[in-house]
Amino acid sequence: MKNFQQALVAVVLAVFSTLSLAADGPPVTVVIPDLPANQEMLILEINLEPGQESSPHRHTAHVFVYVLEGKVNMQVAGEEMVTLSPGEMFYENPGNIHTVSQNASDTETAKFLVHMLRTTGTPVSVPVE
């Protein structure tokens, strides 16, 4: 499983590194390895209005966040909060408690992509009490 995780991280990084090239140049083809049984890749676009934030939650998935516009504050329990700018990435291990996910600006919208490798049919997120 460790080799698969390393391969997945390499593929995600390759995709992210080619995003700006794909917009201005020829199409980019990335070969993705077969996913293990019952696994799927879910991709979401999240838009946060100025000052908007989510409630604490967890994902039962590997989560890769890639910022497209604005600045976003991210934190998982036990780690320091980070502020991400366009082109920067954040990773969450399955089960981490995502304590902070907020737009760092009170005046501009923030937009980011969330790539989740998860077991098919599991919820996108689970609230934390």
Residue 94 is assigned to a structural domain of this protein: yes
For residue 48, the enclosing domain spans 36-127
For the segment 53-98, what is each residue's pLDDT rounded down to a tens digit? Answer: 999 999 999 999 999 999 999 999 999 999 999 999 999 999 999 9
CATH of the domain at 44: 2.60.120.10
Residue 4 is assigned to a structural domain of this protein: no
Residue 8 is assigned to a structural domain of this protein: no
* Residue 128: φ, ψ to 5°: -110, 125
User: What percent of the chain stands above pLDDT 70?
Assistant: 77
Residue 88 is assigned to a structural domain of this protein: yes
Whole-angstrom distance, CA of residue 28 vs CA of residue 109: 28
Residue 22 is assigned to a structural domain of this protein: no
Length of the chain equals 129
Residue 14 is assigned to a structural domain of this protein: no
- Ranking 11-20, 25-34, 45-54 by mean pLDDT, the lowest is 11-20
pTM (predicted TM-score): 0.75
- Ranking 26-30, 86-90, 124-128 by mean pLDDT, the lowest is 26-30
Highest mean pLDDT among 14-18, 108-112, 118-122: 108-112
- Using alpha carbons, select from 127, 123, 74, 80 the residue that is nearest to residue 102: 74
Number of domains in the chain: 1
Residue 93 is assigned to a structural domain of this protein: yes
Mean residue pLDDT of the chain comes to 84
Residue 46 is assigned to a structural domain of this protein: yes
